[in-house]
């Protein structure tokens, strides 16, 4: 089995690495999250541990990418977080299918990390519940059509499901609607990656309308 550790803290890297190697994982360590993102499709790890202390924004970019299925693999993602991890971030972690979080590398923290590794499913409670809760993102393996693009204003990766495509216009439902906020009609997206089965196609697109779903007109 393979595990990727993404952190810029030597102490954190060493202690997480010890737990993983003791469980017979081959570990690969990255200090730059975007470099790990570039290589995840080739590595195809079973587990990824990301330090949100070092990458407070980009961990969501990484999670969106691998959960979209475009990266070709869907590893379990575990977050090493600050002791105070806001409820809004916990909600995003739940929506993105994060398996669990732990906030220290002392004995208790590493026991928590080990329990997450041993768990059969996510250990994060969904913050929203009941009939008014927004649905969680659809598991990538159940999607026939997926799409990813970079938000032209925030530079966040936006992933989601293609609801319809007639060769000219795409109706798109983002996995995490908050990451698609501030998109407006007329916004130009220089590259959209459309995944169909095991193949990807690329094009530019312009935003036609926004709302619960987003309508895009595909460029030439």
Tens digits of pLDDT across the chain (220 residues): 999 999 999 999 999 999 999 999 999 999 988 888 888 888 999 999 999 998 887 888 888 888 766 555 689 999 999 888 888 888 888 888 899 999 999 999 999 999 999 988 777 754 443 334 333 333 333 345 778 888 999 888 888 888 888 778 899 999 888 889 999 999 999 888 777 655 566 788 999 999 989 999 987 6
Instruction: Give residue 177's domain range.
Output: 143-218
pLDDT at site 130: 38
Based on the fold, state whether residues 96 and 54 are members of the same structural domain. yes
**Beta pairing partners, 122:** none
Residue 127 in any domain: the answer is no
Residues with Cβ within 8 Å of 79's Cβ and at least 6 positions away in sequence, in order, are 49, 50, 51, 52, 59, 93, 98, 100, 101, 102
Based on the fold, state whether residues 7 and 107 are members of the same structural domain. yes
Task: Evaluate if pTM is beyond 0.75.
Answer: no
Residue 48 in any domain: the answer is yes
Based on the fold, state whether residues 83 and 24 are members of the same structural domain. yes
Helix (H) or strand (E) holding 35: helix 33-43
Residue 130 in any domain: the answer is no
Residue 135 in any domain: the answer is no
Longest pairwise C-alpha distance within the chain: 56
C-alpha span between 108 and 71 (Å, rounded): 33
Based on the fold, state whether residues 147 and 114 are members of the same structural domain. no
DSSP sequence for 151-210: -TTT--EEEEEEEEE-SSEEEEEESSGGGGTT--TT-EEEEEEEEETTEEEEEEEEEEE-
The total domain count for the chain is 2
- CA nearest 70: which of 189, 2, 162? 162
The CA R_g of the chain, rounded to the nearest whole Å, is: 18
pLDDT at site 143: 41
C-alpha span between 137 and 64 (Å, rounded): 10
Based on the fold, state whether residues 75 and 161 are members of the same structural domain. no
At 53, which CATH number?
Answer: 3.40.50.2300
Based on the fold, state whether residues 22 and 101 are members of the same structural domain. yes
pLDDT at site 148: 83
Residue 162 in any domain: the answer is yes
Residue 189 in any domain: the answer is yes
pLDDT at site 79: 96
């Amino acid at each position: 089995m393979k595990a990727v550790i993404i952190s810029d803290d030597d102490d954190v890297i060493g202690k997480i690495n010890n737990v993983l190697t003791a469980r017979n994982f081959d570990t690969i360590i990255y200090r730059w999250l975007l470099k790990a993102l570039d290589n995840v499709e080739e590595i195809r790890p079973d587990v990824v541990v990301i330090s949100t202390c070092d990458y407070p924004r980009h961990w969501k970019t990484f999670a969106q990418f691998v959960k979209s299925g475009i990266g070709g693999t869907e590893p379990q993602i575990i977050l090493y977080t600050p002791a105070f991890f806001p409820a809004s971030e916990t909600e995003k972690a739940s929506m993105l299918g994060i398996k669990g979080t732990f906030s220290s590398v002392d004995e208790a923290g590493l026991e928590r990390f080990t329990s997450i590794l041993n768990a059969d499913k996510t250990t994060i409670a969904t913050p929203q519940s009941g009939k008014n809760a927004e649905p969680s993102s659809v598991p990538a393996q159940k999607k026939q059509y997926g799409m990813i693009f970079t938000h032209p204003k925030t530079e966040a990766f936006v992933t989601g499901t293609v609801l319809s495509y007639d060769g000219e216009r795409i109706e798109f439902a983002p996995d995490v609607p908050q990451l698609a906020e501030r998109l407006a009609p007329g916004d130009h997206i220089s590259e959209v990656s459309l995944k169909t089965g095991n193949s990807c196609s690329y094009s530019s697109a312009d935003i036609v309308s926004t709302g619960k779903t987003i309508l895009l007109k595909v460029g030439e």
